Structure 1
Amino acid sequence: MTPSITALADALIAAHRSNRTLDAAPWTDALQDATQAYEVQDAVATALGWFQSGTVPGCWKSGGGSRDVTLTHAPLPPAGVRQSPANFDDLAFHIPGIEAEIALRLGKDVTPAMAAKLDHNDAASLIDAMAVSVEIVDSRWQDLPATPALLRLADSQVHGALVLGEWQPYAAVDWASQRCETKVGNAAIVVREGTHPLADPAWLLPIWLRHVTRHGQTAPAGTVVTTGSWVGVLPCRRGDQVTAEFAGIGAVRLIV
């Protein structure tokens, strides 16, 4: 890594360890592309001991605002991945938000050679289960709206924690009419229908799997990816009770 990338990684590592946030302004020009942002992700994860060396992380986030933009990915620290119902009063958050999502689970190993040949029509055959999930988004950057996209990506794509619901067998779903209801604290229930930004959560699988296997590692069966928010980012506060339900698929409950 270049000195500026190493310095950025060190700053994020220190922010994690001290539960503090950083001013993004001094780091605006530290990264030139996504490859460098992913180098920072890897350096932070290694320093904090999130994953076993030489293995593919077991849980990821992946997604983007539409099929026309470059999708981004981040491995998720296992300490923050929990089953519903979940309570996160032991974790530190700064300005958390809620995303209601669908998670997918690989049903078979995917080698780099397999990933290279996948297309959007056959990737879903690799999935054995799906579940409702809620991501708590959070950042080590003080002013997230003003933070450049590459710095967000370097910071685990602003991940805080993840809750997974009960796994259900993966089956074809009419995603265009899929209903999602999310409630945060005392706020009104947010109802959405057919609002996944990629139209189908499984559409991202070939792109995500090529990223996961890019260093020559095989993604093992059981690897999980959460696939993007149906509700944008809903504001929340510490202590809020959150529920998210996808009709016909399941629900999750958590306390932020």
Structure 2
Amino acid sequence: MTATAVEEVAQALLTARRERVPCNAERFATTLVDAAEAYAVQDAVARGLGETFPGHWKSGGPGREQPLTHAALPAAGVWASPAVAADWPFHLRLIEAEVALRLGADVTPAQAEALTQANAPSLIDAMTVSIELVDSRWRQGPQAPPLLKLADLQSHGALVLGDWRPFAPRDWAQQALTVRIGDRPAERFRGTHALGDPAWLLPQWLRHATRGGATVPRGTVVTTGTWCGLLEAQAGDAVDVEFDGIGRASVQL
């Protein structure tokens, strides 16, 4: 791992956050060589923002056969629903409707290493509807190189969380949800999570979160990937997401 490369990208991202002006990804298109360096940038940005061990994460991927990605989320951009985000410095406003899960117990590195998709859900005590607002510190936005997007918290902007309810097994293949954005017609989805089950990612996420030897504390939250793809929104739009039988969340942009 090249410390200079990690520091250069981290400083560019911190400057973009501080000055609220996206930076040019072309300058760093080949700076990072692998995911380990991108995650090191995430860690450096967190230190620069004064973040300690995160209470909120995002994790997910396009399918079970492909590597998942993970990012710890800055606390300042995590809000309870109904949220008002009109003053938040967005460059993009892309919407992902998700389900967030909350740990009901501490998880040590040894426990994380032993987890399977079958037993990991027993660690979850609650779930809620979440809205991830996707944004970028790169001028190129979604077209930035994949490692630079991963370094930029996998293009995370903010997270809105609904009311918590006890976690219980569900028929996720039949899970329905409705997304409303501004004055557009409501969009309906069913069984559209890329992993089939949002809890499927728990072992990989927890191994990543404990990779430095830390224990992930009870109450830590992970949002688990989109059910609606990326939907465009504009400043001034009201966004409302409702998962049948789970709840709803909303944000005013």
Measured against the shorter chain, the TM-score band is over 0.9
Structure 1 runs not aligned, ≥5 long: none
Is 1:84 aligned to residue 85 of structure 2?
A: no
Partner residue in 2 for 1:153: 150
User: Which of 213, 222, 237 is the equivalent residue of 2:210?
Assistant: 213
User: Which of 190, 193, 208 is the equivalent residue of 2:190?
Assistant: 193
Q: What displacement does 1:143 show?
A: 1.6
Q: What displacement does 1:253 show?
A: 1.2
Matches within 5 A, 1:70-109: 70-109=67-106
Write out per-residue CA displacement over residues 28-78 of structure 1, whole angstroms, 9 at most, x where no aligned residue: 1111111100110111111121x22xxx31000000000011000001111
Task: Give me the TM-score of the superposition, normalised by structure 2.
Answer: 0.98
Consecutive aligned runs of 4 or more in structure 1 exceeding 6 Å deviation: none
The CA distance in 2 between the partners of 1:141 and 1:11, in whole Å, is 9
Partner residue in 1 for 2:44: 43
Identical pairs, percent: 53
Q: Give the residue type in structure 2 aligned to 1:20.
A: V
The CA distance in 1 between the partners of 2:3 and 2:199, in whole Å, is 35
Task: Give me the TM-score of the superposition, normalised by structure 1.
Answer: 0.97
**In angstroms, what is the RMSD of aligned CA positions?**
0.8
The CA distance in 2 between the partners of 1:89 and 1:96, in whole Å, is 11
Q: Which 10-residue stretch deviates more, 21-30 or 201-210?
A: 21-30
Q: What displacement does 1:26 show?
A: 1.3
Matches within 5 A, 1:214-233: 214-233=211-230
Structure 2 runs not aligned, ≥5 long: none
Partner residue in 2 for 1:8: 9
Q: Give the residue type in structure 1 aligned to 2:91.
A: H
Q: What displacement does 1:145 show?
A: 3.3
Q: What displacement does 1:8 show?
A: 1.0
The CA distance in 1 between the partners of 2:154 and 2:142, in whole Å, is 13
Partner residue in 2 for 1:244: 241
Q: Give the residue type in structure 2 aligned to 1:252.
A: A
The CA distance in 1 between the partners of 2:5 and 2:195, in whole Å, is 34
Partner residue in 1 for 2:171: 174
Q: What displacement does 1:144 show?
A: 2.1
The CA distance in 2 between the partners of 1:156 and 1:163, in whole Å, is 16
The CA distance in 2 between the partners of 1:198 and 1:106, in whole Å, is 19
Q: Which 10-residue stretch deviates more, 208-217 or 84-93?
A: 84-93
The CA distance in 1 between the partners of 2:165 and 2:176, in whole Å, is 17
The CA distance in 2 between the partners of 1:87 and 1:39, in whole Å, is 32
Write out per-residue CA displacement over residues 186-226 of structure 1, whole angstroms, 9 at most, x where no aligned residue: 11211100000000000000000000000000001000000
Q: Give the residue type in structure 1 aligned to 2:43.
A: D
Q: Which 10-residue stretch deviates more, 161-170 or 19-28?
A: 19-28
The CA distance in 2 between the partners of 1:33 and 1:6, in whole Å, is 15
